[in-house]
Amino acid sequence: MTRTEQLASLPPIELMMREERRRARRRLWTALAFMSPALIFVGVFLLLPVAFNVYASMTKWAKFSGLDQYAGLANYQRLLSNPNFSTATGNTILWVVASFFLPAMLGLALALLVKGLKGEETFKSIYFLPRMFSATAVGVVWYYVYANEGILNSGLRAIGLEGLTRRWLYEEGIATPAMIVTHIWQQVGLTMVLLLLGLNALPSEPIEAAKVDGASRWGVFRHIVLPLLAPTILVVATVSVLAGFTSFDLVWVMGRDFPNRSTLTLAVNQYWESFRAGYWGYGAAIAVVLGVIAFSISWLLGALQQRLDRR
């Protein structure tokens, strides 16, 4: 057979391509069949609600009516003039800043402290333990820790610091930081474990080389460990801040008589306006604000991460 004859005996190129397209389509359908339960659950219970929430935030929906009345950005304008919203925003900003820096920094300090220490596993379990409790349970216990006759005040009295005792969960300017301390006590075990994994994955050569060259421990940490670990630290801080500033359970349990509380956050404000007061449209607008903050944080930190990776 000549080459021309060989080619002629093959099926035409279009047929082959059509066959290949058919196979590709079948593979797509098979893959979709495998993904369909996940897609249906996520679509129906998560994505659809988010879309509906955005729509609802632009309606006059309150109590039992108004879902069909378009309100434009009126709910968002109302946010700006509501004193509860400003209190909540101020506290939420504090939560964002604190839960970005503190869990990662203190977690790193703990990781460096216990790494290679005798009984490392025991120390790790102890620092991690609060994380196995629910935020509700932690909130209940620390509600009593901060109580008037609670262990913090009686501890301060015992060491002669009577002057420092106070009503921790009721004084303005102290109550929110007190709750943040509780939150960090609970979360820092997790960041410690994650950062220890990062530390143990670092290449050992540059660190050993620097030690042999006589670098101090601080020098090794500052100039070698920290730059190598920076991407991990950033991931840990990102996860912490995204979970931290929307935390509801702890603030709800430790604070009482909302909404006129100095500890109000956007998450609690959102719950209150919707489920207690019945201002659905307005509550939906607060949820959108929380979403926008989450997106901005993710975007900002994602960009930072890319710069770190490129270095």
Partner 1 sequence: MAALDIAKLDLDAIAAKERRAQGSSALIWLFAALLAIAWLVPFYYLLVSVFKTNAEYGLGHPLALPQSWQPILENVYEAWTKTRMGEGMFNSALYGIVGAGAAVFIAALAAYGLTRIDFRGKNFWFMLIFSGTIFPLQMYLIPLFIGYNKLGLNNSRLGMILFYTAICIPFPVLVLRNYMAGLPREMDEAARLDGCSEFRIFHSIVLPNCWGPMTALFLIQFTWVWNDLLFSMVLTSREEVRSLMNGLMVLQGSYAAQTPNVVMTATLLASLPTVVLFFLLRRHFMNGMKLQNL
Cα–Cα dist 102/104, whole Å: 5
Cα–Cα dist 161/45, whole Å: 52
For partner 1, give the closer residue by CB, 61 or 98.
61
Q: Which residues in the 52-81 window bind partner 1 by CB under 8 A? A: 52-53, 56
180: tokens are: 């943040």
Among 193, 224, 241, 301, binds partner 1 (CB under 8 A): 193
Residue 28 touches partner 1, criterion: CB under 8 A: yes
* Binding piece for partner 1, criterion CB under 8 A, among 1-9, 73-81, 160-168, 251-259: 251-259
Closest separation between CB of residue 259 and partner 1, Å? 15
Q: Tokens 């490392």 appear where?
A: 120
Q: Which residues in the 254-283 window bind partner 1 by CB under 8 A? A: 256, 266-267, 270-271, 274-275, 280, 283
* Residue at 223: amino acid letter: H
Q: Tokens 């920290």 appear where?
A: 226
- Which DSSP category does 64 fall into? T
Q: Which residues in the 160-179 window bind partner 1 by CB under 8 A? A: none
Closest separation between CB of residue 6 and partner 1, Å? 27
* Binding piece for partner 1, criterion CB under 8 A, among 2-10, 93-101, 161-169, 244-252: 244-252
* Binding piece for partner 1, criterion CB under 8 A, among 5-13, 71-79, 112-120, 173-181: 112-120
- Count of residues binding partner 1 (CB under 8 A)? 88
Residues 233 and 219: beta-carbon distance below 8 Å? no
Backbone angles phi, psi at 148, to 5 degrees: -55, -50
Sign (positive/negative) of CA torsion 33, 35, 38, 40? negative
* Residue at 273: amino acid letter: E
Closest separation between CB of residue 5 and partner 1, Å? 31
